[in-house]
Amino acid sequence: MRHYRYLADKRSRETGVVSSELATFYGLSLALFVALFAIHHALAETKPTPSAIEVSEYGYRVVSQERFDRDNFTQGLEFYRGRLYVSSGLYGQSVIRVYDFPEMSLIRSVPIDSRIFAEGLTIIDNQLILLSWRERVMLVYSLPDLNLVGQSPLPGQGWGATHHDSVLWFSDGSDKLYSADLAAGGRVEVLPVTLGGQPIRHLNELEWVDDEIWANVWQTDRIVRIDPATGQVTGTINLAGLLPDEERLRDTDVLNGIARHAETGSIWVTGKRWPWLYEIVLEKSAP
């Protein structure tokens, strides 16, 4: 794992998005924090690929399911204080939706600037962090009112986001994850992710689950379980067939969205323009 520390230019990059007052996380401004990410991938040195480990393979069993709004082009999914927060993408249609859970009644819908394609979200210290895809901007909203309180530049594309305590994790669609401890100065760590000793790309939506990071692999029915200390994939979850063919419409898209319910420990998954939110348990595949 390679470490980086940079001095930040306090001027925000021009993003074409109207700026608002920058929020502060644990005394570290988002402008400073996100500026720490301003490194080109070509500059990121990585240590040699670790030795491959045995990777467990899992299937699944559906425990329950809840109706889900097909309008959600799901990018981020997170439970927080009895509510389900969803970021839905596409230009001109991006929105944050908040639902009561498990009733799934819509509480609030907050549209995003039409020039922004919303991506992953996570919630830290009662603030919702939303990534954008190509616009190179991170938006910060206060909870529970979902007022936009800050924005900062990103060095590249934003895909998935999650956190553990004060550590924020990002994906950008590559084979790397990025993290920074917001309570300890914001030092950036770049973590290459490997499966069987080889890089695994297209890491998308993220969720912290029992000391692992689970990641959707874009355009597949797979979730990979990543050891955040080494970057090695320790398990793969095959969710093929989760959404029945008869439930698929012309605009139904890929599996995307993982959320762990903190109170129950249950795991919920869905996809882009899916009509269901599924609670699943894993079943070890036969060798």
Residues 145-200: tens digit of each pLDDT: 999 999 877 777 899 999 999 998 989 999 999 987 878 876 778 999 999 999 99
| Residue corresponding to tokens 């689950």 | 209
Banded pLDDT at 38 (limits 50, 70, 90): very low
Closest CA to 101 of 130, 79, 129: 79
35 three-class SS: helix
In a domain, 46, yes or no: no
Query: Rounded to two decimals, what is the model's pTM?
Result: 0.84
Q: Provide CB contacts within 8 A for 136, sequence distance 6+.
A: 13, 15, 153, 154, 155, 156, 157, 158
In a domain, 172, yes or no: yes
CB 96 within 8 A of CB 110: yes
CATH of the domain at 68: 2.120.10.30
Range of the domain at 146: 2-11+19-40+52-284
What secondary structure letter does DSSP report for 232? B
Give the number of domains in the chain. 1
Query: Who wins on pLDDT, 14 or 220?
Result: 220
193 three-class SS: coil
How many residues are present in the chain? Answer: 287
In a domain, 47, yes or no: no
